[in-house]
Structure 1
Amino acid sequence: MHNDKKEMKWIYEEIVGRIPPFSLLSYKYSILLQLFFLLILGITLGFIFNLKTISLLYGSTAVLVAVLWSLLILQLGPTLRRFRAPLSKDENRLLERYKEILFHRNHYEIIPGIAIFILFMIYLFYYGSDLLEEWLGENPSSILLLFISLLIWDLCYRMGLGIWTSILALWRSVELNSIAEERTELEHTPYTELRSLRRLDINNVFFGIISLLLIPLLQQDQFLVAIIILFTVFIILSSVVSADIISKVPWLPPDIYNLVKEASFAYVGTSFRGIPHTTPVVYVFDGQSVFFNTSKEAKKLKILRNNNKIAFLIDKRDMSNIYENKAVLFTGEVKIYGLLDIPLLFSRMLQARRLFMRKYPEYTRKYSTSQLPRVWQLTPLIARILIEVKPTKIIYWRGAKQISVPV
């Protein structure tokens, strides 16, 4: 376990983490303390050398960016340490390779940071002297130059980490999606693990957005402003593409995926104050989530508003041979869609409606007519409510055999 933790740290944090008092604190707080000391040191030097207020503001902004970047980057190690092995040898091999490269013992992640630092320092001292004067004034002290170099290194190092993690995440997502197409039977990567990878990609999107805070510091140099914008676009674009690819990787193994995709009916089990309630429903599956809709007056909706726990059973029956029967039970919670979800989840709601119309054309045509009672009509959010099943446990039956599938 000790070796795993060591491998899940970047080289800069490893080195500083061995120096008291940082070594006495947890990994996360030691990084924050380092940056806090950097901020205090910068303000102190600013007052000693009578720097302009704007210079102190620039330095504080740079430290803030480093802090925010660190908080996002530091989530990588703990998240990947908790990662459960996929039930697919090829997918497991890929993700282990991804972690090995990301936190390589030779610390290749430092290479982009060093390259950015060297190029930036050459540009700053030979071509960006006006920028240096704006920050530190004329003829700055060597102490100030040393401090600003340390701060620039801190930023460049983390910029390099942003590039390193974004490129590897995109490679990981592309490869995982490709390998997932070759799955057989019950091979899969659990839903929670795919969601964790997607969350790390979203963190990288914020990493890119935070980079824009550096623009005021560089506003006098349009070339450097353009570089920051390009860096931001690269991080955001690569991370968004990676997150989108991960969202398309099936989290269900092929056997269950095909059953859920092909079956037409399901049974919803709910409970309130110890009283169970079961009803049949039609549903759709978009490859990632299971949706069903229900009347605003339905008892199951009233129960789910008070207790969002659900049992959702899908089965396929062969009356001539019971050993050919298949069924899958999702137990978990539900997401009930309402008016407040329209701004952010409208495309998701629209996609679910299209799937219903495609899968059950006669049903949707008949129940869309105004001749039916209002509670039966398929008017979204007015008469019918869309509900998404969020499983926390899956049990699969194939013939007479029961299989628990990790979510």
Structure 2
Amino acid sequence: MHDGEKKEMKWIYEIIVSKIPPFSLLSYQYSILLQLLFLLILGIILGLVFQLKTISLAYGSLGILVAVLWSMLILQLGPTLRKFRAPLSKDENELLERYKGILFHKNHYEAIPGVAIFVPFMLYLFHDGSGLLKYWLGENPNILLLFFVSLLIWDVCYRMGLGIWTSILALWRSLELKKLAERRTELEHTPYTELRALRKLDINNVFFGLISLLLLPLIKSDPLFVIMIFAFMTFITLTNVISAYLISKVPWLPPDIYNLVKESSFAYVGTSLKGVTHITPVVYVFDGQRMFFNTSKEAKKLKVMKKNNKIAFLIDKRDMSNIYENKAVLFTGKVKIYGLLDVPLRLIQMLRTLRLFITKYPEYTRKYSTSELPKAWQLTPIIARILVEVKPARIIYWRGAKQISVPV
């Protein structure tokens, strides 16, 4: 894409709305809310003028609410992708640029799924055998009401199409990114913040699918559309769950650092409180995405981390015969200290981490499970040993005598 296209990254609906006052005078977030208010007031006025039932007004308001909720979720895409930094991998960078180029194509292909939903829906709706119009508007509805409902249906169908469009592209992007990640060399990688942002967008789309269930009261009188809504929800949800899972399996560390972190056995934890620094060696595990170490509830570093969660986490590999073969990586960032409240919320993650410790350090975990060690060192589940997760914000890597700063 050219620079102008990168900066624009808008869909046809946004472009049209951005040219119509007063919506054009507001940021997109506020213009969405103004559209909600405008459609809601217009719908209520038309309903009162043509004496619609209260339930019909409620159905119309629900349809508007769904469209706005979808808009707020879709709104995250453009700003998030605009802030993307280029991956330190030519192939991965080209893939993500291609993904953005297709997603926000100048020919606005994103409207095609919406049209493909809208046209058959309208043909079916105005077919003599369909009872939905009567269910919504009663007998012989006025032409203005029909026009307003058609506009609202287009709004909903367009956003349903966007959900399908973004979900299919997200799954394709995640599949390709995982394949490319397996072919990385040396320091090639996509930064952690970018991978986390992509995963967040996929999770947003999962909610996009679930929100569609709010449409069920509007179409419950037609079994065919009930089935279609459930099919849409299932497709959107499953597609994005798979995409988010694939993204979670893409390493955010380049191969050189990934292998160093995976293969090393010890690290040094640096903490600081009121100008007093503290450094201790720890054993740790790495699950391919996150680093964990555990510490005693009596340990000084834990007491410091509870007051200042900033941390330095150093892993090094030394060759005493040749200093130019030495490697080290320093992660600076913050920690998450796991507590009792995390047990029900992150039990699976905690059990996986425990299994990694047992597999990597069988002798260590066996000794720590005995009562032969000091109380502060005993591996008493939940009570005496505390699990800590490292959340890096910056990475510095040394290879030989050369220092390299690696984007997170």
Matches of 1:157 and 1:55 in 2, distance apart? 22
Partner in structure 2 of residue 214 of structure 1: 215
Q: Deviation digits for residues 49-92 of structure 1, max 9, x if unmatched?
A: 01000000000000000110000001100000000000000000
Partner in structure 2 of residue 58 of structure 1: 59
Matches within 5 A, 1:163-174: 163-174=164-175
Matches within 5 A, 1:95-244: 95-126=96-127, 129-244=130-245
Partner in structure 1 of residue 302 of structure 2: 301
Q: Look up the equivalent residue of 2:84 and give its one-letter code.
A: F
Runs of 4+ aligned structure 1 residues displaced above 4 Å come to none
60-69 or 16-25, larger mean C-alpha shift: 16-25
Partner in structure 2 of residue 292 of structure 1: 293
Matches of 2:125 and 2:371 in 1, distance apart? 71
Partner in structure 2 of residue 27 of structure 1: 28
Partner in structure 1 of residue 319 of structure 2: 318
Contact conserved, 1:128 with 1:221, CA < 8 A, in 2? no
Q: Look up the equivalent residue of 1:4 and give its one-letter code.
A: K
Contact conserved, 1:87 with 1:187, CA < 8 A, in 2? yes
RMSD: 1.0
Deviation at 1:233, TM superposition (A): 0.6
Matches of 1:67 and 1:128 in 2, distance apart? 30
Matches of 1:225 and 1:129 in 2, distance apart? 14
Deviation at 1:334, TM superposition (A): 0.2
Matches of 2:271 and 2:295 in 1, distance apart? 14
Matches of 2:349 and 2:59 in 1, distance apart? 42
Matches of 1:344 and 1:276 in 2, distance apart? 33
Structure 2: where are the runs of 5+ without partners?
A: none
Q: Look up the equivalent residue of 1:81 and give its one-letter code.
A: R
Kindly tell me the number of residue pairs found equivalent between the two proteins: 406
Deviation at 1:379, TM superposition (A): 2.5
SS of equivalent to 1:259: helix
Relative distance call for 1:184 and 1:128 in structure 2 (3 A) is farther
Matches of 2:249 and 2:344 in 1, distance apart? 22
Partner in structure 2 of residue 67 of structure 1: 68
Q: Look up the equivalent residue of 1:5 and give its one-letter code.
A: K
Partner in structure 2 of residue 4 of structure 1: 6
Contact conserved, 1:13 with 1:31, CA < 8 A, in 2? no
Partner in structure 2 of residue 273 of structure 1: 274
Matches of 1:274 and 1:112 in 2, distance apart? 59
% same residue: 76
* Alignment partner of 1:18 is 2:22: no
Matches of 2:173 and 2:246 in 1, distance apart? 10
Matches of 1:241 and 1:107 in 2, distance apart? 26
Partner in structure 2 of residue 353 of structure 1: 354
TM-score by length of 1: 0.98
Matches of 1:176 and 1:78 in 2, distance apart? 21
Q: Look up the equivalent residue of 2:141 and give its one-letter code.
A: P
Q: Deviation digits for residues 22-49 of structure 1, max 9, x if unmatched?
A: 1111222223322321111111101110
Deviation at 1:332, TM superposition (A): 0.2
Matches of 1:2 and 1:177 in 2, distance apart? 29
Q: Look up the equivalent residue of 1:307 and give its one-letter code.
A: N
236-245 or 337-346, larger mean C-alpha shift: 337-346
14-23 or 174-183, larger mean C-alpha shift: 14-23
Matches of 2:70 and 2:380 in 1, distance apart? 45
Deviation at 1:17, TM superposition (A): 1.4
Q: Deviation digits for residues 236-265 of structure 1, max 9, x if unmatched?
A: 000000000000100000000000000000
Matches within 5 A, 1:365-384: 365-384=366-385
SS of equivalent to 1:315: strand
Deviation at 1:206, TM superposition (A): 0.6
Q: Look up the equivalent residue of 2:391 and give its one-letter code.
A: K
Deviation at 1:373, TM superposition (A): 3.3
Contact conserved, 1:329 with 1:395, CA < 8 A, in 2? yes
Deviation at 1:134, TM superposition (A): 1.2
Contact conserved, 1:42 with 1:56, CA < 8 A, in 2? yes
Matches of 1:128 and 1:294 in 2, distance apart? 69
Q: Deviation digits for residues 331-375 of structure 1, max 9, x if unmatched?
A: 000000011111221111111100000000111111112343332
Q: Deviation digits for residues 245-296 of structure 1, max 9, x if unmatched?
A: 0001000000000000000000000001110000000000000000000000
Structure 1: where are the runs of 5+ without partners?
A: none
Contact conserved, 1:380 with 1:386, CA < 8 A, in 2? no
Matches of 1:343 and 1:401 in 2, distance apart? 44
Matches of 2:307 and 2:29 in 1, distance apart? 38
Partner in structure 2 of residue 401 of structure 1: 402
SS of equivalent to 1:126: coil
Matches of 1:76 and 1:106 in 2, distance apart? 18
